[in-house]
Amino acid sequence: MSSTKSLAPVLALVGCTNSGKTTIARCLVDTIQKLGKSAAMIEQDDDYLLAHQVEKVPRKHNPDDFYYHYDQISALNVGGLEKRLLEARQKADFVIIEGNMIAEIKEIMQLVDKVIFFTIDQKTCRRRREQRTYDPPDVEGYFDQIVWPAYLEHVRNAMSQARLDDRFVFVDVSSENDKATEKEVFEVIEAISRDFIKITSQTLELDAAMKLLRLPNCGATSIFIGTTRDTFDGKEVLQLSYESYDEMAYPELRKLCSSVRATFPTVERLIVWHRVGEVPVTEASVIIAAASPHRKDAIQAVSMAIDELKARIPIWKKESYADGEHSWKENEEWKVGKPKETSSSQIATYTKPQGDAKFFWLHELIQQLERLRKD
């Protein structure tokens, strides 16, 4: 009897140039192999077309000269990239594909199980890029006219996709370091393995949240579900509508999770999900949840996360009433600043994973990918 090898799960690392995608991908591959698994790495950079095949864009300040526009899909051999990915899925246990435009290539995204999108600030990106050598080399003005505007377009497209696609995870990697360090790599892995963040236009599913919160070492799960109620100040409410400034909201949500963990270090899992767009009466607009060995930490962590969410995250709501009127509502917390931090007294001490922590969190990420493949 012959057995057919299942196709490997594919993790896509996407983001701006110099955000550390290649460094992180290589580190992940090396660590996966140390865990006894095989891993293949596919680099988008290997499939760029030759210079004469790439679009030339006139320079703003010197129209008689031009830039090669490498930051658009037309500069890639998409067929070659897809072929290499298909072959790698059949041979390896895991595949990591990295590149700044992966999330916008339909043929590739059909094969991807999870996307980690690295956001970065302009200062970090510019500093790192100036220290690298490119072929063809960067010339004056290329970063400002081509590289940075292309990144802004890519990140907006990705965040727009993420509102309908649960595969996306966003992590900000802005740093004073000239390149991603191993410590930063595994901080990223730990963050995405423990904290589940999303801004979505889809219905929030409690069952999906519960699957993420079930952990053998956690005896307490606390969940807050915020729903649309049908009245406000005597007026009949038909629905709420939420708007989010995603480019700022995602980094702030990561900081929120870090703040909660600093106060309640025993919390093993955090979920912060927010719905945007129209949310009818009785439907959930937000789910915040925590899993911990102890109930007090889980309950207080959720309470702190709710307060922090209202105080610091740029998400706004509009109430629509039965009389045809509507009103944009401002969180009271925005007026008075951040809420007071919950007291950390009498909080249980966090027990670190046994052995090498970086392997522990990578194993968590691998298990998530395997579950995605099974589902």
Helix runs in 240-374, H state only: 246-263, 295-312, 332-336, 357-374
What DSSP state is assigned to residue 8?
A: P
Of 192, 116, 195, nearest to 362 (Cα)? Answer: 192
Give the residue numbers of the binding site for substrate: 294-295, 310, 317-319
Structure tokens at 200: 């979505």
Give the residue numbers of the binding site: 294-295, 310, 317-319
What DSSP state is assigned to residue 304?
A: H
Q: What is 194-354's CATH superfamily?
A: Molybdopterin biosynthesis MoaE subunit (3.90.1170.40)
* 201 in Cβ contact with 277 (< 8 Å): yes
Please state the domain extents for the chain.
10-180, 194-354
User: Is 342 a residue whose pLDDT tops 90?
Assistant: no
Residue 374: CB atoms within 10 Å: 8
Tell me which CATH code domain 10-180 carries: 3.40.50.300
User: Is 128 a residue whose pLDDT tops 70?
Assistant: yes
Rounded Cα–Cα distance for residues 205 and 207 (Å): 5
Helix runs in the chain, H state only: 21-34, 78-91, 106-109, 122-130, 142, 148-162, 182-194, 206-213, 246-263, 295-312, 332-336, 357-374
* 169 in Cβ contact with 114 (< 8 Å): yes
370: Cα separation from own chain's centroid? 18
Cβ neighbors of 213 (< 8 A, separation 6 or more) are 221, 223, 269, 271, 289, 290, 291
The pLDDT value recorded for residue 262 is: 92
SS3 category, 59: strand
> Whats the size of the chain, residue-wise?
375
* 95 in Cβ contact with 9 (< 8 Å): yes
| pLDDT tens-digit map of 276-287 | 999 999 999 999
Of 299, 290, 316, 306, nearest to 338 (Cα)? Answer: 306
Question: What is the torsional sign of CA 153, 156, 160, 165?
Answer: positive
The pLDDT value recorded for residue 366 is: 66
| pLDDT tens-digit map of 234-284 | 888 888 899 999 999 999 999 999 999 999 999 999 999 999 999 999 999
The pLDDT value recorded for residue 373 is: 58
